[in-house]
Amino acid sequence: MNVFFIILSLMLSVGISSYLIRKKCFCFLNERQNRFSNLDGIRGFLALAVFFHHFTVTYYWKVNGVWAAPDNIILRNLGKFGVAIFFMITGFFLLLGY
């Protein structure tokens, strides 16, 4: 799998999400008080990291016929890192009662 394709799709998803934010498509998120919007944004990027990890593993499975982790260490650990930090932030929100 070409790393250029991964970077291009990541840039496209960031561009679309920033466009939707500028058009105020996510205005319902601002209704709650005492919200950590920066942490919500980080959780979104972490969810995208898990998505890209699953995408690359599925791609290698379709191309090679073997269900295995990618050879690239960054792509291999993208899912583990994304899930771990995502649940840490979610646990922080649960601890505070959000």
Q: Would you kindly state where each structural domain of the chain is located, as residue ranges?
A: 3-96
Report d(CA 45, CA 41) in Å as an integer. 7
**pTM higher than 0.75:** no
Chain center to CA of 78 = 9
CB under 8 Å, gap of 24 or more: what pairs does 8-15 form?
A: 9/52, 10/48, 10/52, 13/48
What pLDDT digit, counting tens, does each position of 25-70 carry? Answer: 656 555 556 667 788 888 888 998 998 888 888 888 888 888 887 8
